[in-house]
Structures are given as structure tokens and as C-alpha cells.
Amino acid sequence: MWTSLRRALAASINLLLPPACLLCGQSLPTDHSKQSFCRDCLTSITTLSPAHCLCCAQPFPDSTSIHLCGNCLKRPPAFSIVHAAGLYQGCIKDAVHRLKYRNQVTLARPLGQLLGKIVEAAGDFVPDCIVPVPLHPDRLRQRGYNQALEVARPIAQQLNVPINTGLLQRIRKTPPQQGLTAIERRNNLRNAFNLTTTPSAQRILLVDDVMTTGETVRECCRTLLVGGVREVQVAVVGRA
């Protein structure tokens, strides 16, 4: 009896407040089966084109092949590959902004699920744990949550691996990277992270919301490898 009551209640709620796409607000079909994004928004996401850097996933707009970019050739990063839910544009950019700056934490779950599917589909890497890029404690206090951790949660659930939030910490409060030149970005983040202990994990998936020049994830991965981790792969919602 309780089950039929619950079903009837859920149907009435759906009738009064039909489920809507978290990105554009349009009503979701009744058979949306717990989808949070509508078909239009999902199809508008630009996934990484075939032409991108084999390592850092930097898109090559004027090329048709996969190879290493100049930056990765000059300064080989400590990570082996970057997975991304999509290019940092359109609804992915909008969603990351709302998650990060407008407290819309409910977006983290569907974005993390999208990203988790991409990591899983790549198929050849089973991390021992997932490490979200940490915020400085002051920034965390201001924002109230770490968006990278919120995105990491559904990925951890999907891959069935633990999240480690205690291993990597941000010890320097750095000014935002926007508006800085490439060299300034690198200097800005030098020694910004450290390890609280010697990592027992050999393979780590590092998760962040967005990757632009990649200096943040480069520095995190460098710190993890210096600590003895064998391989780090990176997963980001948006790749600029």
C-alpha cells in the first residue's frame, strides 16, 4: 500500500512540478528516467574533437590528427592523459560557472556522471583512489564547498573507488589564474600544493572542474609523482 501511495504522490508532484533540465529549464519528458539534462543540452555539448593533444587534450582547431602539443613536448606533464566531459564552451561553460560561482551544487552530480562515463569508456585505467584538486582553506570557507570534490563524488561511485581528500592540500593562497600570462600562471602555482603523507596509492585520478592552461593540474600531478605515485590521469568537466 505504501508503495502505491508513494507512486501516486510522485506522479502528483511530477504533474504539479514537472522535472526540468538543470541547464536550460525546459521540461523533461516523463520517461526522463532520472536524467538531469534534456536531450537538446546533451547533444549541444562539444566533446573533444578527434584533433587534440594526446596528453593534455588541448584542442587543435586547425588539424585533423592526434599528436602531442608543443607545450607537452617542451614540458612533459606529470599526468599521462586528460579526460574531459566536453570543451569549455556553451552549456558546459555555463554549467561550470553556475556550479562554481552561483552555488548551484546540484549541477555537480550530473556533470560528474557525464565525466565518469567518459573515464569509464576510456577503459584502461583503474585508479586506486580519486583526488579532487583542493581549494585553499580560506577559499573553501568562503565558497562553502569544493566544486572539484562535488564532481568527484559521482565518478567515485561509478568507478567504485574511494575519494581521498586528505592527501593533497593547497598550502598557498594564490591569486586567480585569469588574466595572468603563461609564465605568471606557472610561477603563481609553484609549490602551492603539498602532501600530508606518503601516498599509498599508485594510480590516482585527479579531478577538477575546468582546465585552461593546465598549470593547476600540472602542479598537483608533479607533487603527487614526487611523493611516489606511479601514474596520475586527470578528469575535468570542461577543457578550454
Residues of this chain that interact with Zn ion (CB under 5 A) are: 21, 23-24, 38, 41, 53, 55-56, 58, 69, 72
113: buried, middle or exposed (CB in 10 Å: 19+, 13-18, 0-12)? Answer: buried
Q: Could you tell me if residue 69 is left (phi over 0), alpha (psi between -120 and 50 degrees) or otherwise beta? A: beta
Determine the Cα–Cα distance for residues 208 and 193; give it in Å rounded to an integer.
15
Minimum distance from residue 197 beta carbon to Zn ion (Å): 30
Minimum distance from residue 203 beta carbon to Zn ion (Å): 21
160: buried, middle or exposed (CB in 10 Å: 19+, 13-18, 0-12)? Answer: exposed
Question: Cell 609549490 appears where?
Answer: 191
Minimum distance from residue 64 beta carbon to Zn ion (Å): 17
Query: For Zn ion, which is the closer residue by CB, 35 or 169?
Result: 35
Query: For Zn ion, which is the closer residue by CB, 27 or 187?
Result: 27
Minimum distance from residue 168 beta carbon to Zn ion (Å): 22
Query: For Zn ion, which is the closer residue by CB, 35 or 188?
Result: 35
Query: For Zn ion, which is the closer residue by CB, 110 or 134?
Result: 110
198: buried, middle or exposed (CB in 10 Å: 19+, 13-18, 0-12)? Answer: exposed
Cβ neighbours of residue 222 closer than 8 Å, sequence gap 6 or more: 78
Minimum distance from residue 30 beta carbon to Zn ion (Å): 16
Query: For Zn ion, which is the closer residue by CB, 21 or 96?
Result: 21
Query: For Zn ion, which is the closer residue by CB, 95 or 224?
Result: 95
* 129 DSSP β-pair partners: 204
Minimum distance from residue 56 beta carbon to Zn ion (Å): 3
Q: H-type helices in 17-174, by residue range?
A: 39-44, 70-74, 90-101, 108-122, 137-143, 147-159
